[in-house]
Amino acid sequence: MTRRYCIRPVDALSIAFVLLLSVLTAVFHARFPEPGVLLLRFAGAVLLVMASSLARQYWPGNHILRYANVLLPIFVVLFSFDSMGKMTGYINPPDKDALLARLDLMLFGVHPGEWMGLFVTPVLTTILQLCYTSYYFLPVILCLMLYFNGEEDRFDRAVFGIVFGFFVSYVGYILVPALGPRYFIPDAFTHDLMRGPLASAIDGTLNMLEGENRDAFPSGHTEIVLIILYYAWRYRRWYFWVCLPLITGLIIATVYLRYHYAVDVLAGAILAPVCVLAGDRIYDRLTCKTTTNGAPGASRPT
């Protein structure tokens, strides 16, 4: 039977975003120390996504190729985040931390992170640090539950919506590059966070992995976890209730732990429903309406 090539919506989205990064690199090439290296990285990423998508369709019985394609969005999100760290400081200097800090003062009359310092205890800091870390696990758990239960359309839609949310936040990092209050206004905080050994280890690990990226605005943590809440409510109601206290603590932690300005969190909260609505519509447009034997739109994973 003749097989029509049908790229997964999230693969098409990944290619489109990496191509956007390529265009930005080409346009601002004079500002980059090694624009050619970036362009080669992006070309390699595009080819990898295309090859993975083709391999999954034309060898549907190969479980390794199939699972590699299923996990590929994780690579693309991490790859794109790493690339943003190499780009934002060159595309749109200078940093906008001063503007964000002023907005916080205008809206609240005080730096919210400093006000939260009145309630600091070692136990609360550790709890909120753990909640903040749940960001890295909650979307993976939800998506794996959907995939291994054979709900591939729900899985694909949730993955698309989450990845779309990541990419929207990355665009925000380009438009409003900022390091965050812990770097820009450390002297404004008179209360120590009293991190114990566990909270200090988590914070140190995150700093090592993420580096000093200009990723404060919008709060991707807030945006993504609210998107996860939406899909959890839609597909796994019990998981929504499991996530709700963790995500509530996570959103508080973004400001309490001084990773974000309060306006970053507000922006992330506003963007989350926009991403859900836009993501669902774009997903529907990109989804192949007819499938053939072994195509990505099949109802159950093999």
Q: Which residue has the tokens 């034997």?
A: 293
**Of 177, 202, 173, 182, whose CA–CA distance to 113 is shortest?**
182
HEC string of 159-198 equals HHHHHHHHHHHHHHHHHCCCCCHHHHCHHHCCCCCCCCHH
Average of per-residue pLDDT across 252-266: 95
Burial of 202 (0-12, 13-18, 19+ CB in 10 A): middle
**194 vs 74: CA distance, rounded Å:** 33
At 95-147, the pLDDT tens digits run 999 999 999 999 998 889 888 988 999 999 999 999 999 999 999 999 999 99
At 160-199, the pLDDT tens digits run 999 999 999 999 999 999 999 988 887 778 888 888 899 9
The model carries a pTM of 0.90
Q: Which residues does 207 contact at the CB level (< 8 Å), separation at least 6?
A: none
**104 vs 90: CA distance, rounded Å:** 26
Q: Kindly state the percentage of the chain with pLDDT values over 70.
A: 93
**Angle formed at CA 233 by CA 227 and CA 239, multiple of 5 degrees:** 100
- Residue extents of the structural domains in the chain: 7-91, 94-288
At 197-240, the pLDDT tens digits run 999 998 888 887 776 788 999 999 999 999 999 999 999 999 99
At 27-36, the pLDDT tens digits run 999 999 889 9
The confidence band for 264, taking pLDDT boundaries of 50, 70 and 90, is very high
pLDDT value for 103: 95
**216 vs 230: CA distance, rounded Å:** 23
**Is the per-residue pLDDT at 297 higher than 50?**
no
pLDDT value for 289: 60
